[in-house]
């Protein structure tokens, strides 16, 4: 959950949607992400125009990292989250119901979801170090 979702008090609602979908919450951690952590997380975007505004946004308040499990959880969560642009996200999705275009430099769209098992493993290591 990104800072906008935490700031708006939507953590419980997002978790409820994940659990209602039938996935299990295996781990949950609230933290203030620092630049070093975000540089690791967004490494593939370094140098892109949206990189600095994105890092600034992600450092603007606490985030909630979650490990969810279940059959086809990655594609299921991405469907549950909705498309990146909250204006275009379908009603019934997290972004379609809970987010809107704030007119900011980066899209504030409540949640992030890993896009592959490899990304999930990398992101879990970043947000849940051993």
DSSP string covering the chain: --HHHHHTT-HHHHHHHHHHTT-EEEEEEEE---HHHHHHHTGGGTTSTTHHHHHHHHTSS-EEEEEEESTTHHHHHHHHH--SSTTTSPTTSHHHHH------SS---S----SSHHHHHHHHHHHS--
Active site residue 112: yes
Q: Which of 97, 112, 122, 126 is catalytic?
A: 112
Catalytic residues: 112
């Amino acid at each position: 959950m990104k800072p906008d979702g935490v700031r708006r008090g939507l953590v419980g609602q997002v978790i409820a949607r994940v659990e209602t979908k039938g996935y299990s919450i295996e781990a949950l951690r609230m933290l203030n992400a620092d630049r070093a952590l975000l540089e690791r997380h967004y490494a593939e975007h370094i140098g892109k125009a949206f990189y600095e505004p994105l890092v600034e946004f992600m450092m603007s308040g606490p985030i909630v990292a979650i490990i969810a499990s279940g059959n086809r959880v990655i594609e299921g969560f991405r469907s549950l989250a909705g498309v990146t642009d909250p204006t275009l996200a379908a009603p019934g999705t997290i972004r379609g119901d809970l987010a809107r275009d704030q007119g900011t430099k980066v899209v504030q769209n409540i949640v992030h979801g890993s896009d592959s098992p490899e990304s999930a493993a990398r992101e879990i290591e970043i947000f849940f170090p051993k």
